[in-house]
Structure 1
Amino acid sequence: MTHRLTPKTVFLLTLPPLLWAGNAIVGRLVHDMLPPVLLNFLRWLIAFCILLPLAGPVFRRDAGMWRYWKQYALLGLLGIGMYNALQYMALQSSTPINVTLVASGMPVWMMLTGWLFFGVPVSRRQVAGAVLSIAGVVLVLARGEWRHVLELRLVAGDLFMILATIAWSLYSWLLTRAKEPAAIRADWAAFLLAQVAFGVLWSGGFAAGEWALGAIPVQWSWTLAAALVYVSVGPAVIAFRCWGAGVQAAGPSVGAFFVNLTPLFTALLSSAFLGEAPHGYHVAAFALIVGGIIVSARR
Structure 2
Amino acid sequence: MTQRLTPGTAALLVTAPLLWAGNAVIGRLVHDLISPLALNFIRWVLAFAILLPLARPVLRRGSPLWPHWRRYALLGLLGIGLYNAFQYMALQTSTPINTTLVGSSMPVWMLAVGALCFGAPVTRRQLAGALLSMCGVLIVLSRGEWAQLLALRLVPGDLLMVLATVSWAFYSWLLPATREPASVRGDWAAFLMAQVLFGLGWSGAFAGAEWAAGRAHAEWGWPLAAALAFIAVGPAVLAYRFWGAGVQRAGPAVAGFFSNLTPLFAALLSAAFLGETPRLFHAVAFALIVGGIVVSSSRR
TM-score bucket of the superposed structures, by smaller chain: over 0.9
Aligned to 2:12: 12
Supply the distance in 2 between the matched residues of 1:168 and 1:294 (Cα, whole angstroms). 22
Note if contact 1:142-1:149 (Cα within 8 Å) is conserved in structure 2: yes
Q: What code does the residue aligned with 1:234 have?
A: G
Query: Offset of 1:281 from its aligned partner?
Result: 2.5
1:160 aligns with 2:163: no
Structure 1: runs of 5 or more not aligned: none
Note if contact 2:38-2:216 (Cα within 8 Å) is conserved in structure 1: no
Query: Which runs of structure 2 are paired with 1:84-233 in the superposition (5 Å)?
Result: 84-233=84-233
Query: Offset of 1:100 from its aligned partner?
Result: 1.1
Aligned to 1:3: 3
Structure 2: runs of 5 or more not aligned: none
Query: Offset of 1:33 from its aligned partner?
Result: 1.1
Distance 1:274 1:84, change over 3 A: closer
Q: What code does the residue aligned with 1:203 have?
A: S
Query: Offset of 1:279 from its aligned partner?
Result: 3.2
Supply the distance in 2 between the matched residues of 1:8 and 1:260 (Cα, whole angstroms). 19
Q: What code does the residue aligned with 1:179 have?
A: R
1:24 aligns with 2:24: yes
Query: Offset of 1:136 from its aligned partner?
Result: 1.3
Query: Offset of 1:159 from its aligned partner?
Result: 1.3
Q: What code does the residue aligned with 1:225 have?
A: A
Note if contact 1:114-1:120 (Cα within 8 Å) is conserved in structure 2: yes
Aligned to 1:50: 50
Aligned to 2:69: 69
Q: What code does the residue aligned with 1:119 have?
A: G
Note if contact 2:57-2:63 (Cα within 8 Å) is conserved in structure 1: yes
Instruction: Provide Cα deviations, 1:51-83, integer angstroms capped at 9, x if missing partner.
Output: 000110111233200111111111001000110
Instruction: Provide Cα deviations, 1:206-257, integer angstroms capped at 9, x if missing partner.
Output: 1101110111421111101111011111100000000000001101111111
Q: What code does the residue aligned with 2:92 have?
A: Q
Q: What code does the residue aligned with 2:242 have?
A: C
Instruction: Provide Cα deviations, 1:257-278, integer angstroms capped at 9, x if missing partner.
Output: 1000001111111122356664
Supply the distance in 2 between the matched residues of 1:75 and 1:179 (Cα, whole angstroms). 13
Q: How many residues align?
A: 299
Greater shift in the superposed pair: 167-176 or 27-36: 27-36
Supply the distance in 1 between the matched residues of 2:298 and 2:241 (Cα, whole angstroms). 25
Distance 1:272 1:151, change over 3 A: farther
Aligned to 2:279: 279
The sequence identity of aligned pairs, in percent, is 65
Supply the distance in 2 between the matched residues of 1:122 and 1:213 (Cα, whole angstroms). 44
